[in-house]
Copies of this chain bind each other. A is one copy, B any other.
Amino acid sequence: MPRASEVTGELISELAERVGGRLSQSPSDLEGHSRDESHHEARAPWAVVRCQSVEDVQAVLEVCRRHLSPVIPFGAGTGLEGGAIPTRGGVSLDLSGMNRVLRVGQEDLDVTVEAGVTLSQLNSELGPLGLFFPVDPGSDPTLGGMVATRASGTMAVRYGTMASNVLGLKVVLASGEVVTTGGRARKSSAGYDLTHLFTGSEGTLGVVVEVTLRVQPLPETVAAAVCPMPDLRSAVTAVIEVIQLGIPVARIELLDEVMVDAINRYQGTDSPVTPTLLLEFHGAKGAVAEQVREVAQVVGARGGRLEEQATPEERSRLWERRHHALYAAKALRPHARTWSTDVCVPISRLADCLLETKAELERSRVLAPIVGHVGDGNFHLSFVLEEGEVEQLKEADELHSRMVERALRMGGTCTGEHGVGIGKAPFLLHEHPTGVGLMRQLKATLDPLGILNPGKVLVVEE
């Protein structure tokens, strides 16, 4: 049997022949593709290919099929569950160079983009046309990456997640075949739903190279508000009431008092250190004013107060604070790294799930501020881990497992939006004891050689 390094050598030379200078083995490229924004252990790929076209993707797959080499799609590297880490080596398929906005359908409120287009790039192109894309995970991923993890974020409560905003995909299968799914009609009952099959498959069923998305008209009026609340339970109760009343808020986010304190320190602000709701309202002028009044009433009845952020500058600062939450958490300890994890539960269980988790945290030595897309029942712990503190990591790991099991017991899911990747794979079988077998059958059908992002999503016995 040839040695692994010999096999790799042949793989590399064949790849070089096919994609030329788009292949790299430079230490900085290998390092840059060895990790994402998660806490999972980095591992370098054998090589990086910066794809410029569908043909490049097909060429890499063809060579990798022959060598049974893993192929790991890579976008912006902003993942939080290690989805893009080459845990078994292989070729990192970098799609960030495929970054053209191919078509903007202004009348139809849809766009088609290559998978490497970033969220900020898309919104920069849409803004001048009076449009925006409302799925907002807080970081700046590629659209391909957002399809991969079925991402959502702060505005899912109003506009839905990637699951409801992707109209169609172009996907290169492991076989090299190109499949176009869905279409531009707003709805269709034509055949099996291949679009949703690939959305959330984390690069394990095919390589998404093109995405057609619904976009939204910029709202006529935007308002935003900060609501300091007396405690966590009253904050969550107010959120439940807002949702039950059917008030169509665009954003309703929670920061716990630890996170408010972290943001104060990081940004030099002096917000009251108490659980706080951040809200945004979109719509016609009268409707927005009505929504603000209704929410103010709900919040007031729970002992909080609604402070409107009147100017666009105040609103920008508000969401900047929210989006920098993870960096603010990280800055709480010197030389720290963060581990951001997410669960999602039916909203009726959100208070219990949050409060039990919070109580455990307070009894532990682990620091972990909480933020949440609470309108969806989704929240995040951001563990702040000091370098080399093995005991802290162990304790965080235990807290994490207990939180996920708690969410599952309450009818929730092990991940609302980060994806399974590496970190949630052990829990998938608990959540879907009957579904995982079928998922494996689908994986075997679409990727019989197992070359697409192996070791992710489905726990496979080694």
A contact residues, total (Cβ < 8 Å): 94
- Known contacts A347-B107, A348-B108, A435-B180; is-contact A419 B189 (Cβ 8 Å): yes
Q: In the complex, which residue of chain B has the Cβ closest to the Cβ of A417?
A: B189
Q: Which of A134-192 contact B (CB under 8 A)?
A: 149-152, 156, 160-161, 163-164, 173, 177-181, 183-192
B163 touches A413 (CB 8 A): no
Q: In the complex, which residue of chain B has the Cβ closest to the Cβ of A173?
A: B438
**CB of A38 within 8 Å of the partner chain:** no
Q: Which of A211-227 contact B (CB under 8 A)?
A: 216-217, 219-220
What copy number does this chain have within its complex? 2
**CB of A57 within 8 Å of the partner chain:** no
A109 touches B414 (CB 8 A): no
- Known contacts A284-B294, A434-B180; is-contact A186 B217 (Cβ 8 Å): no
Q: Please name all residues of chain B whose beta carbon is closer than 8 Å to the beta carbon of A69 when the two chains form the complex.
A: none
**CB of A59 within 8 Å of the partner chain:** no
A431 touches B183 (CB 8 A): yes
Q: Please name all residues of chain B whose beta carbon is closer than 8 Å to the beta carbon of A199 when the two chains form the complex.
A: 193
B432 touches A244 (CB 8 A): no
Report the bound CA distance from A188 to B162 in whole Å: 11
- Known contacts A164-B164, A219-B246; is-contact A193 B150 (Cβ 8 Å): yes
Q: Please name all residues of chain B whose beta carbon is closer than 8 Å to the beta carbon of A173 when the two chains form the complex.
A: 438
Q: Please name all residues of chain B whose beta carbon is closer than 8 Å to the beta carbon of A346 when the two chains form the complex.
A: 105, 107-108, 110, 184-186
A191 touches B436 (CB 8 A): yes
**CB of A310 within 8 Å of the partner chain:** no
Partner of A290, one of B105, B107, B286: B286
B185 touches A345 (CB 8 A): yes
Q: Please name all residues of chain B whose beta carbon is closer than 8 Å to the beta carbon of A183 when the two chains form the complex.
A: 411-413, 431
A108 touches B347 (CB 8 A): yes
Q: Which of A310-328 contact B (CB under 8 A)?
A: none
- Known contacts A193-B197, A197-B197, A438-B179; is-contact A240 B107 (Cβ 8 Å): yes
B200 touches A434 (CB 8 A): no
Partner of A377, one of B186, B248, B285, B427: B186
Partner of A189, one of B196, B420, B441: B420
Q: Please name all residues of chain B whose beta carbon is closer than 8 Å to the beta carbon of A156 when the two chains form the complex.
A: 187
Q: Please name all residues of chain B whose beta carbon is closer than 8 Å to the beta carbon of A376 when the two chains form the complex.
A: 185-187
**CB of A418 within 8 Å of the partner chain:** yes
Q: Would you give the 0/1 interface string for A47-77, flagging 1 where the beta carbon is closer than 8 Å to chain B?
A: 0000000000000000000000000000000
**CB of A439 within 8 Å of the partner chain:** yes
- Known contacts A217-B244, A246-B217, A346-B185; is-contact A163 B419 (Cβ 8 Å): no
Report the bound CA distance from A359 to B424 in whole Å: 57
Report the bound CA distance from A283 to B199 in whole Å: 32
**CB of A301 within 8 Å of the partner chain:** no
- Give the most central of A416, A434, A437, A443: most B CB within 10 Å: A434
Shortest CB-to-CB span from A156 to chain B, Å, is 6
Q: In the complex, which residue of chain B has the Cβ closest to the Cβ of A220?
A: B246
**CB of A338 within 8 Å of the partner chain:** no
Q: Please name all residues of chain B whose beta carbon is closer than 8 Å to the beta carbon of A194 when the two chains form the complex.
A: 432, 435, 438-439
**CB of A422 within 8 Å of the partner chain:** no
Q: Would you give the 0/1 interface string for A321-351, flagging 1 where the beta carbon is closer than 8 Å to chain B?
A: 0000000000000000000000011111000
B190 touches A420 (CB 8 A): yes
Partner of A200, one of B107, B189, B436, B443: B189
B243 touches A434 (CB 8 A): no
Report the bound CA distance from A442 to B439 in whole Å: 11
Q: Please name all residues of chain B whose beta carbon is closer than 8 Å to the beta carbon of A438 when the two chains form the complex.
A: 173, 179, 194, 446
Q: Please name all residues of chain B whose beta carbon is closer than 8 Å to the beta carbon of A457 when the two chains form the complex.
A: 191-192
28 A-B residue pairings within 8 Å (CB atoms): A107-B244, A107-B347, A108-B348, A109-B243, A109-B244, A150-B187, A150-B188, A156-B187, A163-B193, A178-B434, A179-B438, A183-B411, A183-B413, A185-B411, A186-B344, A186-B346, A189-B200, A190-B414, A191-B428, A191-B431, A191-B458, A192-B442, A192-B443, A194-B435, A283-B287, A284-B294, A286-B289, A441-B446
